[in-house]
């Protein structure tokens, strides 16, 4: 193995300490691996069944005091830190994986071999291991620096300060001060910051021995640290500055209250794009293209439904719903420019929409369906399937009720077998169309006048 500079940065030492962590067979998960995912804000996906190589890298970086992408997508690290030249120990290497341009693998460089790159990484053979990968798979080599130690801000961050300050003030007003309600699943909280988040931020483990001291320090947390936590752990990972200001305001509140990944999935539902919990170019393009008022209304409804599904709704439900109403009202007070700086232009309608991926450049043009309250019933496969079923199976009975019957002689002439076959096929096709239409349905139906000429 060829030698490279082998000074051991803190994040690499932390990664070595995880060597040997392995997935648990069956339904159970290795809690250590689930912790990598949970600590990056993806609690709903905290399982070793989730692809976790990026979670491993992000967790090691953040425990070393560096910002990660907080994404579970390996290729998100193509935009992190600074481009590295000659490989050094601890560099973050991003590799391709198969022919899928969205797939990848990420790990820490620990050495070079003949034609290969030696990586210490997670989810390598379902464990934290050291393995050699073909150098031809390398698509990016990144490292933190004194200049770039966090994901590069987007162009839309130009007005980040004023928008963020306004959104943060609104969130802090909703979060309030110190709370240690035994029914709160978040545990001790001050200004919306949980004890677990505070412990991660100051780089100390939360154990029975440190619990009381961390609690005391959380109660005295400084305003500067509060602002830094909210900006680095919620505002930037949620990509709020790249959205219309009013939507950014509301999305930031959701990200704080429901986690960055959970809020991303809710926003994607509201925008009717693929739901994967990752804010990428497709989600951002939809956020910029859709009328903000409609998106906010749908987003708020989704949040309300989520709260009502939680087991602690009986105790906190009234406050949760009030929070949504307040956040929505505050967001609607935020002025929105007619066009967001850096928003992509819209292409002509296309039948093919690329899969959400943080690896795609922010300038990607995305085709979006026209905004509407729903689709016309005449375009519903479900409706037409039901109509065909009715025509094939119900209409003969209706005609008979009015004294209109097909005579035996006519049946004989047409062929009873043919008539029966046509009716059976019509009913079968209609039923299949109804079922298929219901499966494919994604939008509510809307009324539209139809003129019939007889």
Distances (CA, A) of 110 to 53, 117, 184, 339, 350: 16, 8, 43, 46, 45
Residues 26 and 61 in one domain: yes
Q: Does 419 map to a domain? A: yes
Query: How many angstroms separate the CA atoms of 70 and 237, rounded?
Result: 6
84, 91 contact by CB (below 8 A): yes
Asked whether residue 366 is assigned to any structural domain, the reply reads no
User: Does residue 291 sit in the same domain as residue 381?
Assistant: no
Q: What is the pLDDT of residue 429?
A: 62
Structure tokens at 28: 């159970």
pTM beyond cutoff 0.75:
no
- Token pair belonging to 369: 């369906």
Separation between Cα atoms, residue 416 and residue 407, nearest integer Å: 11
Task: Tell me which of 143, 169, 199 is where a domain ends.
Answer: 143
CATH of the domain at 237: 1.20.141.10
Residues 161 and 258 in one domain: yes
Q: For the chain, which residues score pLDDT lower than 50?
A: 3, 5, 146-159, 338-381, 406-416, 419, 442-443, 445-454
Q: Same domain, yes or no, for 170 and 277?
A: yes
Number of residues assigned to the chain: 454
Under a CB-based contact definition with an 8 Å cutoff, are residues 289 and 345 in contact?
Answer: no
Rounded Cα distance, 136 and 391, in Å: 61
Domain count, the chain: 3
Report which DSSP code applies to 146.
Answer: S
Determine the straight-line distance between the first and last CA of the chain, rounded to whole angstroms: 84
Sequence-separated (6 or more) residues with CB below 8 Å from residue 185: 312
Rounded distance between C-alpha atoms, residue 174 and residue 256, angstroms: 11
Query: Torsions phi, psi of 313, nearest 5?
Result: -60, -35
Asked whether residue 112 falls in the same domain as residue 165, the answer is: no
Whether the Cβ atoms of residue 110 and residue 118 lie closer than 8 Å to each other: yes
Task: Report the pLDDT value the prediction gives residue 412, as an integer from 0 to 100.
Answer: 46
SS3 of 109, please?
strand
Question: How much helix, strand and coil, in percent to the nearest 5, is found in the chain?
Answer: 50, 10, 40
Alpha carbons 239 and 250: distance in angstroms, whole number: 12
237 and 96: one domain?
no
| pLDDT at residue 422, as a whole number | 53
In terms of phi and psi (left: phi > 0; alpha: psi -120 to 50; beta: otherwise), the region of 191 is left
C-alpha radius of gyration, the chain, whole number: 28
> What CA–CA distance (Å, rounded) separates 195 from 218?
7
User: 178 pairs with which residues across the strands?
Assistant: 190
Nearest CA-CA partner of 434 in 391, 371, 372, 396: 391
Residue where one domain finishes, among candidates 116, 143, 170: 143
**Whether residues 310 and 199 fall in one domain:** yes
pLDDT recorded at residue 91: 92
Q: How far apart are CA 202 and CA 235, in angstroms?
A: 19
| Same structural domain, 293 and 249 | yes
Domain-located, residue 101? yes
Do 137 and 260 sit in the same domain of this protein?
Answer: no
Does one domain contain both 166 and 299? yes
Query: Is residue 388 domain-resident?
Result: yes
- What is the structure's pLDDT at 121? 96
The secondary structure of 285-327 as a DSSP string is HHHHHS-HHHHHHHHHHHHHHHHHTSTTHHHHHHHHHHHHHHH
Which structural domain range is residue 107 located in? 10-143
Q: What is the model's pLDDT at position 67?
A: 86
């Amino acid at each position: 193995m060829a030698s490279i500079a082998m000074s051991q940065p803190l994040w690499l030492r932390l990664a070595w300490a995880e060597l040997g962590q392995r997935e648990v067979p069956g339904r159970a998960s290795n809690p250590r691996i689930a912790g990598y995912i949970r600590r990056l804000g993806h609690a709903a996906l905290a399982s070793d069944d989730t692809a976790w190589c990026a979670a491993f890298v992000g967790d090691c970086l953040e425990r070393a005091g560096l910002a990660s992408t907080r994404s579970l997508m390996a290729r998100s690290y193509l935009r992190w830190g600074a481009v590295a030249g000659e490989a050094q120990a601890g560099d973050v290497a991003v590799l391709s994986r198969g022919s899928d341009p969205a797939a990848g693998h990420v790990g820490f460089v620990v050495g070079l071999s003949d034609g290969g790159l030696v990586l210490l990484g997670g989810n390598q053979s379902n464990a934290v291991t050291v393995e050699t990968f073909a150098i031809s798979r390398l698509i990016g080599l990144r490292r933190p620096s004194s200049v770039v130690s966090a994901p590069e801000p987007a162009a839309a961050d130009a007005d980040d300060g004023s928008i963020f300050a306004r959104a943060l003030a609104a969130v802090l007003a909703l979060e309030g001060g110190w709370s240690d309600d035994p029914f709160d699943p978040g545990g001790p909280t001050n200004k919306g910051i949980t004890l677990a988040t505070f412990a991660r931020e100051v780089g100390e483990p939360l154990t029975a021995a440190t619990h009381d001291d961390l609690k005391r320090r959380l109660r005295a947390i400084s305003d500067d640290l509060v602002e830094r936590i909210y900006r680095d752990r919620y505002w930037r990972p949620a990509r709020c500055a790249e959205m219309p200001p009013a939507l950014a305001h509301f999305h930031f509140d959701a990200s704080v209250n429901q986690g960055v990944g959970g809020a991303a999935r809710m926003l994607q539902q509201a925008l009717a794009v693929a739901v994967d919990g990752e804010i990428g170019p497709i989600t951002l393009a939809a956020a910029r293209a859709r009328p903000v008022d409609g998106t906010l209304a749908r987003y708020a409804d989704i949040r309300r439904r989520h709260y009502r599904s939680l087991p602690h709704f009986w105790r906190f439900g009234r406050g949760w719903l009030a929070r949504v109403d307040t956040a929505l009202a505050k967001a609607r007070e935020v002025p929105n420019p007619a066009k967001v700086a850096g928003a992509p232009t819209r292409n002509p309608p296309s039948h093919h929409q690329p899969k959400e991926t943080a690896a795609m450049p922010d300038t990607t043009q995305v085709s979006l369906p026209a905004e509407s309250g729903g689709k016309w019933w005449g375009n519903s496969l479900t409706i037409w399937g039901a109509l065909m079923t009715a025509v094939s199976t119900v209409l003969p009975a209706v005609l008979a009720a009015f004294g209109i019957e097909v005579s035996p002689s006519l049946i004989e002439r047409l062929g009873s077998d043919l008539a029966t076959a046509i009716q059976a096929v019509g009913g079968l096709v209609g039923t299949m169309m109804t079922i298929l239409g219901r499966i494919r349905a994604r939008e509510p139906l809307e009324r539209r006048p139809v003129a019939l000429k007889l």
